[in-house]
Structure 1
Amino acid sequence: MSVLDPLAARYASWLGLPAAATNDVEDEDPLAVRAMPVILRIERAEPPARTPLLEAAAAAAIAVCLDPASEVDGPWHEDVLAWVSGRIRKVSRRARGAHWAAVQELPGVTVDVAGASVRALVPALVAETPHVVSRLQISGSDLPADEPSPVEDGVPVLYLNPVVAMTTGKAAAQVGHATMLVAALLHADGRDTDLKAWAENGFRCAVRTPSRDQWRDLHPGDDPVGAWRRRRVVAVRDAGFTEVDPGTVTVLTQWPS
């Protein structure tokens, strides 16, 4: 059993929903909304490069979900399971200096990639967000495009939609969704050996922006299950709460063959 089982179970049906249904929150109690805070370390004097920061965010999100503390009887299990069983919201915030140091004291996982650092915290009720987190700014987290290094062999590649503009904070949340989906589907397929090897490699991944032709060729279309089975491609479809329209596919992930 994995805490991500509810995510795997509804993957295909979620992609098939009409766009308008993906962000239907009319029946949602605001006091019951849960989210994973994703804290991006962006120092004023030496900000990180965008690509490593996104790769760190992608790894940190799944690292929280698959941490031993998230397993059954672990101290994080109930919070993570309640979050995964509902709408998968993440809120990216930026921190530096003493504020970055302060969030290290909260339950979560910090990942460092090529000088970039991200801490994903254990999901919790938004209404109960601690002040040390709520005081951090959500806006202003954008970073310029950079020239990433060649993709490492054997790591999943997370492709950002080349025709949809996303801030660094938005993209950080989306790539975190992507790694969670991949891990959930690997477990559902009984590929726990692959999942274990990925964990031992620190959930390393590559974030890239493909050409429009590459994106079109990778897109699962109306057959998300087939795309995963045949090509190991997973799509992230956004609910459209911020920045993008409901139903937008923001990330396509290809697991290495």
Structure 2
Amino acid sequence: MTSSGTHPETSPFRTAETDRDAAPQFVLPLVVRIEKAAPPTRTDALETAARAVLVLLSDERATAADGAWAEAVTAWQDARIRKVVRRARGAEWRRAGTLPGIMVTGRATDGRAEAEVRVFPPVPLDGWPKELVKLQVSGTDLDDPEPPAAPVPDEPVLWMNPHVDMSAGKAMAQAGHGAQLAWWRLDGPARAAWRAAGFPLAVRTASPAHWETLTTSGLPVVRDAGFTEVAPGSCTVVADHPALRRR
């Protein structure tokens, strides 16, 4: 299971496309726990990955001027906001848990195992920690035994492109991108309210007609750089946050 991705949405840090490419490149590692006997559902994994990105972005270690992760997070957001999702189980998962990071647990309600995702501060593109570098990046996907329920009204939704097929890992990274774009667009009070509520959100696949409306709505759109699985410039996610619709 793998994914990496970037997007050209204007960053609050560095705005010029060429500047982002010239900057040192970092990657945000996410590791999803997938035990053979008890894998999470696909939707729960996507939603948990998106929340994990938001939890890291709002953590004082990332936001405070003297925070332990602030320099790495700023360098990562100055460049392409690459995210890579890898999978682990058993001893691999336990080793990953020895590194500084944050674990976010999913909210499965159908009897399947809750998703567990660890997010770590950004690392140089070619400088992964030894505890993570050998984790598998392909070969596993996830499913939803039943179609997910309709999103809760007035809750943020990350809408996936119905025309683009992605592995679970790729989709997890794209959901993380969408959550990050929404976070960038929100003002301080809206961010604080979202964080205080525990970052509620849903990840759903839009209908073709709804997708066409979403992509012309002015809401944040993830456009993938095309490093893996999808063509460069593909629109993969629209971040539909109620606070952004009211603007």
Shift in Å at residue 10 of structure 1?
Answer: 6.4
Shift in Å at residue 73 of structure 1?
Answer: 1.1
In 2, Cα distance between equivalents of 1:8 and 1:213: 31
Count residues with an aligned counterpart.
Answer: 225
1:219 — aligned with what?
Answer: 215
Match of 1:7 among 6, 11, 14: 11
Q: What SS does structure 2 have at the residue aligned with 1:152? A: coil
In 1, Cα distance between equivalents of 2:140 and 2:159: 20
2:183 matches 1:183: yes
In 1, Cα distance between equivalents of 2:125 and 2:37: 31
2:112 matches 1:116: no
In 1, Cα distance between equivalents of 2:95 and 2:206: 37
1:208 — aligned with what?
Answer: 204
Look up the equivalent residue of 2:37 and give its one-letter code: A
In 2, Cα distance between equivalents of 1:121 and 1:86: 17
Look up the equivalent residue of 1:177 and give its one-letter code: H
Shift in Å at residue 160 of structure 1?
Answer: 0.7
Match of 1:83 among 76, 82, 91: 76
In 2, Cα distance between equivalents of 1:9 and 1:215: 29
Comparing 150-159 with 209-218, greater Cα deviation is found at 150-159
1:18 — aligned with what?
Answer: none
Match of 1:241 among 227, 238, 241: 227
CA contact (8 A) 1:93 1:141 kept: no
The share of aligned pairs that are identical, in percent, is 41
In 1, Cα distance between equivalents of 2:44 and 2:169: 13
Shift in Å at residue 59 of structure 1?
Answer: 0.6
In 1, Cα distance between equivalents of 2:197 and 2:32: 21
In 2, Cα distance between equivalents of 1:194 and 1:107: 28
Shift in Å at residue 126 of structure 1?
Answer: 2.5
Shift in Å at residue 204 of structure 1?
Answer: 1.9
Comparing 191-200 with 239-248, greater Cα deviation is found at 191-200
Look up the equivalent residue of 1:252 and give its one-letter code: V
Q: What SS does structure 2 have at the residue aligned with 1:91? A: strand
Shift in Å at residue 9 of structure 1?
Answer: 6.1
2:195 — aligned with what?
Answer: 199
2:6 — aligned with what?
Answer: none
CA contact (8 A) 1:237 1:247 kept: yes
CA contact (8 A) 1:8 1:181 kept: no
In 1, Cα distance between equivalents of 2:56 and 2:35: 24
2:36 — aligned with what?
Answer: 44
1:156 — aligned with what?
Answer: 156
Look up the equivalent residue of 1:62 and give its one-letter code: L
Q: Which is helix-richer, 1 or 2?
A: 1
Identify unmatched segments of 5+ residues in structure 1.
1-5, 15-20, 221-226
CA contact (8 A) 1:40 1:95 kept: yes
2:131 — aligned with what?
Answer: 132
CA contact (8 A) 2:14 2:79 kept: no
CA contact (8 A) 1:57 1:172 kept: yes
Alignment RMSD (CA, Å) = 2.1
2:25 matches 1:33: yes
